[in-house]
Amino acid sequence: MSCISITTKCSKVPMMKTSILYLLCLCWLACWPLSGRASVALEPVYLLPDSFDNCALSQTPGQMFDWRQIRAGQGYCLAMDLVVKEAPQNSLALLVSALGASRLYIDGQLIASNGLPASNPANEIPGQIEFLYHLPLTALQPGIHSLRLQLSTQQAPRDFFQYFYAIDLIEPQSFLQSRQRQHLLTLLLCGALVMAGALVAILGVTLGRYRHWLVFSLLALITASLLVAESWRSMFSYLYPLHYLRLHVIWALAFIFSALLPLYFLLLYRIALPLYLWPVVALLFAINYFLPLSQDGKVLLLMVVGLLLSLLICTLAHYRQRPAYLNLLILCLALGLCVYKGGYFAEQGFVWVVLLLMLPLLYQLIRQWVNDQRKAELALQLENQLLHKSLQPHFLMNCLTSVNELQRENPAQAEQFIQALSEEFRLLNQYADQPLISLAQELHLCRNYLELMAIRLQQPHQLHVTGEYDGVCLPPASLLVLLENAFSHNKYAQAVDFTVELEFVKGKIAINVHLPLGGKRLHQGSGTGMAYLQKSMQCSFDDKAKVVSSISEKYWLVCIELPL
């Protein structure tokens, strides 16, 4: 099990203020009119049967028609009345968005063609997915004008749920300005996501420890690609047969996004998903492609599944006392927005879900990076303090004196003492630059120190450990400083046993160290050892670790409580 553990310390008050400010910004953006359409529904709509080739002048009686009745491989002649009560001050245009080629006639006069409608695929020239028919002044004079739309869908795919999207009367200038604002927001957001993804990837590779940073960078790039793909129709338009390809690209990107989002939270909170669940989750995403839903419905369902899985992971993290309450709030808001914008998710809902998800996650990563920079500086100070403590002049003087005495009295023990001293310094040097080491490594360091003291004092001191400690990690020399303090403050007239007890309580582990008391020394110490222990715990675990010491008649008891 890895012993690298970095947690982010966030003050609740600043986090709450930031959350409120963020929500206010979202509300302001939501109030910014992005559509700007002055649309007027053209009703009623009549289908003129058997009039496709003579659509402009056909006098065939019409029958009521719903735009949802349009199917692939067909030709339609649709009649509407354009009622003008008062001549408009600004020019108007008719926006038609459909999977087909079309022609517009007003009062029998051809206004414009979008491609070339035909009764068979060979003769049809595909039109743009969106097209503006600019209406002439004669069509805007007060009165009732006959409007005919000749529409063919010969080259449209057969398995679509929707072939017609919109027909609206709009003011072209106002409509284009609104589209420009919408595109500006999309491009700014895409640019910010790409830069953020690149920056996070660089930092993740540089730091070399945060896999969820790399997953976030992928999420940012996929999100930017999704936003561009969603906006491609209104930005550049395209021939309607390419619409099928664009929707599949959107589905593939949404699939990757929805799969990466739960993975991000798994890595963030270091939660291991059982192996048997991975195929279930993969199957859950895969069957989405074969569901009898529209492409927009499939994308929405993918997003909902990804959000629900992420919500489940964050709930589990919160149950394990991880800082997940803000992510829980964000995911709940994103789910609510998916439901609210369900009918128009691709056109209006996706960008807001992205804002709700990606911006707070990026903010958390930035805070984590800043916090880690502070920790790195503190870790360097602790490393220097640890080395300084290990090379205290009086400690070296006592060791050299012991070597000199043993060399005269017992050369074999002198050699053993030098080897133990060398091993002690080697271990300290090896562990000094690591934020955390395993408890097994720490116990090895302590036993080597006791061997050193046993040779020096000619007393066989022992260290006893009870409880399971696999996977338990703590800052280097955390227990060693306690043993050093015990020998610095006590004169042991005989061999003593030191005890380390481990117990698991409510998602935490308590390490209880029992240090026997002996005769007091004149040297009272400066509290450096305990100061090192407190600061190292703060550096590695923030306020989730606790160190408590107490003194009884026979023992000095130190309890170190660590999060799992």
Q: Which of 13-17, 202-206, 245-249, 346-350 has the highest mean pLDDT?
A: 245-249
Residue 6 in contact with residue 364, Cβ under 8 Å?
no
pLDDT in tens, 46-75: 888 878 888 888 887 788 988 889 999 999
Whole-angstrom Cα distance, residue 26 to residue 352? 8
- Residue 122 has what pLDDT? 92
Whole-angstrom Cα distance, residue 424 to residue 421? 5
Tell me which of 129-133, 419-423, 555-559 is least confident: 419-423
Domain positions in the chain: 12-37+178-371, 45-170, 391-563
Residue 243 in contact with residue 131, Cβ under 8 Å?
no
Provide mean pLDDT across the span 484-510. 84
pLDDT at 190 over 50: yes
Provide mean pLDDT across the span 319-338. 83
Tell me which of 18-27, 188-197, 301-310 is least confident: 18-27
Pull the structure tokens for residue 148. Answer: 């005919």
DSSP 444-513: HHHHHHHHHHHHHHT---EEEEES--TT-EE-TTTTHHHHHHHHHHEE-SS--EEEEEEEEETTEEEEEE
Provide mean pLDDT across the span 418-435. 80
**Over the chain, what is the mean pLDDT?**
80
At 532, the amino acid letter reads: Y
CA geometry: angle at 373 spanning 371 and 375, to 5°?
70
Q: What is the DSSP letter of 544?
A: G
**For the chain, what's the residue count?**
564
Beta bridge partners of 466: 501
Provide mean pLDDT across the span 177-186. 84
Is 34 buried (19+), middle (13-18) or exposed (0-12) by CB count in 10 A? middle
Provide mean pLDDT across the span 468-485. 85
Kindly tell me the sign of the dihedral angle through the C-alpha atoms of 373, 379, 380, 382: positive
- Residue 1 has what pLDDT? 37
pTM assigned to the model: 0.63
Pick from 250, 253, 361, 259: which is nearest to 309 by CA? 259
- Residue 531 has what pLDDT? 76
3-state DSSP helix/strand/coil % of the chain, to nearest 5: 55, 20, 25
Residue 465 in contact with residue 502, Cβ under 8 Å?
yes
pLDDT in tens, 74-120: 999 999 888 888 888 888 899 999 999 999 999 889 999 999 999 99
- The fold for domain 45-170 equals Jelly Rolls (2.60.120)
Q: Provide the 3-class DSSP secondary structure of residue 36.
A: coil
Kindly tell me the sign of the dihedral angle through the C-alpha atoms of 50, 53, 59, 65: positive
**Identical fold between 45-170 and 391-563:** no
Tell me: cis bond preceding 44? Omega within 30 of 0 counts.
yes
pLDDT at 14 over 50: no
- The fold for domain 391-563 equals Heat Shock Protein 90 (3.30.565)
Whole-angstrom Cα distance, residue 526 to residue 258? 56
